[in-house]
């Protein structure tokens, strides 16, 4: 069987790469999959026909302009929210029945429970980088497709998927508590949200910097 009509696993891997890395050229995708550029393009065209990816031409250069591919809204929905419909319905029911204050109390209680769990996992980690790596592992295990990179003397914790996105859209207290949680776990480091899914970014990302004079 030729690579251009290979199994759906190649298409799944393409979707995963685009979910993790955002806009990416055909050549880069082909290299990461270890297939030819025509083979990758054939899969991408099929995914575009299915409404899962879109492409835009990259200006500059000689000859055929390079195409940069990205997931469509339907493509992002291939990475489902965790029990999204049920959770959103529960939140709406609490809000309509008990009021906004009760909903805030429920989210705060959930945040405190999460914080206790995270602190137990990070308790034996010494140093900011060790805690960051442990936090990244936890978030990855929970379905956030988290990755940690170094940048300009600090770190960026990026979450390429949000398994509770629908709930977060319904109640942004989840996002507020998440940022507060990261700050409390990593203090005295400075934690700033630099990309935000609900503001139109493709993911959430956090910039972490050591506090001045911190080891």
184-201 pLDDT, tens digit per residue, is 999 999 999 999 988 989
> Tokens 């319905």 identify what position?
89
Provide the pLDDT for residue 193. Answer: 96
Provide the pLDDT for residue 175. Answer: 87
Provide the pLDDT for residue 159. Answer: 94
Look up the pTM and report it: 0.68
143-155 pLDDT, tens digit per residue, is 888 999 998 899 9
Q: Give yes or no for a contact between 26 and 42, defined as CB atoms under 8 angstroms apart.
A: no
For the chain, domain boundaries: 3-76, 84-209
Provide the pLDDT for residue 95. Answer: 85
Provide the pLDDT for residue 215. Answer: 57
Provide the pLDDT for residue 214. Answer: 62
Provide the pLDDT for residue 176. Answer: 87
Q: How confident is the chain (215 residues) per 10-residue block, as mean pLDDT?
A: 50 84 85 88 89 79 73 76 67 86 86 92 93 94 91 93 78 84 95 93 94 71
b vs e for 49-74, b when ≥16 Cβ sit within 10 Å of the residue's Cβ?
A: eeebbbbeeeeeeeeeebbbbbbbee
CATH of domain 3-76: 1.10.10.10
Provide the pLDDT for residue 67. Answer: 84
Residue of 151, 148, 206 lying closest to 182 (CA atoms): 206
CATH of domain 84-209: 3.30.1380.20
């Amino acid at each position: 069987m030729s690579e251009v009509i290979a199994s759906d696993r190649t298409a799944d891997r393409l979707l995963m790469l685009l979910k993790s890395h955002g806009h990416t050229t055909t050549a880069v995708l082909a290299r990461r999959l270890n297939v030819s550029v025509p083979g990758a393009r054939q899969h991408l065209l099929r995914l575009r026909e299915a409404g899962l990816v879109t492409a835009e031409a990259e200006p500059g250069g000689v000859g055929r302009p390079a195409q940069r591919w990205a997931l469509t809204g339907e493509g992002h929905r291939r990475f489902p929210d965790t029990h999204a419909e049920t959770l959103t319905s529960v939140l709406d029911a609490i809000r309509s029945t008990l009021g906004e204050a009760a909903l805030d109390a429920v989210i705060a209680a959930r945040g405190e429970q999460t914080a206790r769990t995270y602190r137990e996992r990070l308790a034996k980690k010494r140093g900011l980088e060790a805690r960051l790596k442990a936090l990244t592992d936890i978030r990855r295990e929970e379905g956030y497709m988290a990755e940690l990179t170094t940048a300009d003397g600090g770190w960026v914790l990026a979450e390429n998927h949000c398994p509770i996105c629908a709930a977060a859209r319904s109640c942004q207290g989840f996002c507020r508590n998440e940022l507060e949680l990261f700050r409390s776990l990593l203090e005295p480091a400075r934690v700033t949200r630099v990309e935000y899914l609900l503001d139109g970014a493709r993911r959430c990302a956090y910039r972490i910097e050591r506090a001045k004079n911190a080891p």
